[in-house]
Amino acid sequence: MNSVLLHCCCAPCSLSCIDPLRAEDIEPTAFWYNPNIHPWKEYQARRDCLLDYAPAIGMEVRVREDYGLTEFVRNTACDLEARCQAYCYRVRMEAAARYAAEHGFPAFTTTLLASPYQNHDGIIRLGQEFSEQYGVEFLYRDFRPNFREGNRRARELGFYMQKYCGCIFSEADRYRKQIERDQEKFAE
C-alpha cells in the first residue's frame, strides 16, 4: 500500500497524521467531509485552512462539500449523548470508506484518531465495520502521541485553531462551566 485516503476534520489534526504516514512511505490524500461541523463560518474556516495548507506540503485534497446542518439535527436530536458515535463518526467514516472504494484507494483512515478527546475505540470499530462493508482496508494508527506536537506546529504555522470538536453541542460543552456560572449568577 502506497496511498491512503485520510479523512480530515481539520488541518491541525492532519499534522499529527501526515508525517507518520509518510515516514512509512504511505502518501495520504486528504478527504474533507464533515457535515457535523457548525456553524457555517466554523465549517468554512476549517475547510479553507486545510485547502490552503495542503499545496504547501504537496498533499492532494478531495472535497465532498456538504454543510449538513439539517441532516445533522435530524439524526442527533433524539439522542444527543450518543451523537458522536451514532452520527458524527459514523457518517464520516462510512463516507471515507465508500469514497476510497469508489476511487481506487486501497485503504482509508482518519485524523479523528489523532485527538485524545475522541472515542478512539468507537472510531476503530466503525473503521473496521466500513472496511468490511466496502472492501477497503481500514488503516489503523494511533496518532494520539503526535497530537500536542501537531497542535504546536499548527500554531507556529498560523493555522486556524478551532476551540471545539465541531458540532453546536460540542461548542456548548466548551462553554458549560461559564453557562453554569451565569445560571447561578442570574438565578432568582
**pLDDT recorded at residue 132:** 98
User: Using an 8 Å Cβ cutoff, are 6 and 112 in contact?
Assistant: no
Mean pLDDT highest for which of 64-78, 133-147, 170-184? 133-147
**Each residue of 72-95: pLDDT tens digit?**
889 888 887 778 777 889 999 999
pLDDT interval class at 172 (50, 70, 90):
confident
Phi, psi of 167 (to 5 degrees): -85, 165
**pLDDT recorded at residue 1:** 63
Mean pLDDT of the chain: 91
Q: State the Cα–Cα distance between residues 165 and 186, nearest whole angstrom.
A: 28
> What count of residues does the chain have?
188
In 64-146, alpha helices (H): 69-76, 83, 90-102, 120-134
**pTM confidence score:** 0.90
